[in-house]
Amino acid sequence: MNQQELLSLNPWKRAVIKVGSALIAPDGQGCRTQYLLSIANFIINSRKQGKELILVSSGAVAAGVSTRVLPMMKRQKSIPEKQALAALGQPLLMAHWNRFFDFPCAQLLLSYDDIHNRRRFVNAKNTLRELLDWKTLPIINENDTVATEELKVGDNDNLAAHVAVLAEVDLLIICTDIDGLFDKDPKQFKNSQMLRDITEIDETISALAGGPSSSHATGGMRTKIEAAAKATSRGIDTVIVNGTKHETFEWLNEGKLYGTLFRRIKNPLAAKKHWMLHALPSQGNLIVDPGAQKAISERGASLLPSGIVGVEGHFLHGDAVLITSKSSQGNVHIAKGICQFSSADLEIIKGRQSREIEELLGYRGASVVVHRDDLVLFN
């Protein structure tokens, strides 16, 4: 590799490194050391340089499979079976990582609720801070033993991005089995080109992930691009690297990169607004008129009931909602915020003046539907 082909990384003091099942259990039948020695050496050498690492590790289900030699292992597994395998495999996964290090490793299992519930989000943040202060290596995975499909983060790329935000890191490293993000799937197209330096995750970049049947999908990159979008919007550089090559980590220890770099945005979102945008699920949709759209988008105003022309979905006071404007091209989501009224009450007060709220509802509620401090713009 020519040194001129390497990118220089911004200096960093704290990083999250995400390692997927394909690297931990290449054959899907238990943990292997094949690719992990280089990753472990990178963690050890980084710590010697005074840096802090957090490891997000997949592989619990694959580790659990190694304990069960049954015909069911050959077929599609049900959710309870996967959860049982995760319960069997998680201690084996931790033991597998522990063997590489002579410093303490701490297990932290996170769930969807830990991300979208603000109190639990802050508690997880405080726990991580304490573990780092104790010079441990936090090893994080999703709590697959209790999570249902409806209440899962869903993948460890996005989980790693949430952890990166929780821990306020400088760098997110996503390890995969190809060199980076390509314009086409390199496993299918020999003329594919790697994208080295990305300053903005726009529609063109997002489209590279493709859909399930897209002939131009870049091979498992959808969640990695989503993770990069989450992290860079909070001011965190994100890289995709090939975890099967030992030289990848030698270069990273030197502050160099062969892979794809997603550069952090210059004006990152505040912590609360980032949490609202990326961690808080939307429960409904408020359709606003052009005047309200302009006030919100251009003047940083709160959303008043008078600007609402439509209410979609069923939600309660305190739930997150999308704020949408109608255009000739269709509905456009302009913002997301925390709503001060339920959908039932909004059906009554939409289009009316704030001074009419008490008379219409029979109680004195907030004077705004979404306060500007609880609102984040998409653009």
For residues 239 and 8, what is the distance between their CA atoms, to the nearest angstrom? 12
For residues 272-285, give the mean pLDDT: 87
Q: How confident is the model at residue 349 (pLDDT cuts 50, 70, 90)?
A: very high
Phi first, then psi, for residue 330 (nearest 5°) are: 115, -170
Give the mean model confidence (pLDDT) for residues 183-209. 87
Question: What is the per-residue pLDDT for 189?
Answer: 85
Tell me if 167 sits within 8 A of 129, measured CB to CB: yes
The pLDDT tens digits of the residues spanning 131-145 come to 999 999 999 998 866
Phi first, then psi: give them for residue 169, nearest 5 degrees.
-85, 170
Question: Distance between CA 216 and CA 141 in Å, rounded?
Answer: 30
3-state percent breakdown (helix, strand, coil) of the chain, nearest 5: 40, 20, 40
Where do the domains of the chain lie, and which CATH numbers do they carry? 3-273 (3.40.1160.10), 281-377 (2.30.130.10)
Read off the tokens for 257: 């990169």
Higher-pLDDT residue of 295 and 203 is: 295
- Average of per-residue pLDDT across 86-115: 91
Residue 324 · residue 378 · CB < 8 Å: no
User: What does DSSP say about strands 256-257 and 330-338: parallel, antiparallel, or unpaired?
Assistant: unpaired
Q: What is the pLDDT of residues 143-157, one digit of tens each?
A: 866 655 544 556 889
Question: pLDDT tens digits for 158-190?
Answer: 999 999 999 999 999 999 999 999 988 887 888
Q: How much is the pLDDT for 3?
A: 59
Task: Give the percent of the chain with pLDDT over 70.
Answer: 89
Residue 218: predicted pLDDT: 46
Percentage of the chain lying above the pLDDT 90 cut: 60
Tell me how crowded residue 69 is: count the other CB atoms within 10 A of its CB. Answer: 8
pLDDT band at 28 (very low <50, low <70, confident <90, very high): confident
* Inter-residue contact 377 to 325 (CB < 8 Å): no
Q: What is the pLDDT of residue 141?
A: 92
- pTM, whole model, 2 decimals? 0.81
- What is the structure's pLDDT at 267? 85
Least confident of 141-145, 212-216, 280-284, 301-305: 212-216
pLDDT value of residue 76:
63
Q: Which residue has the higher pLDDT, 126 or 82?
A: 126
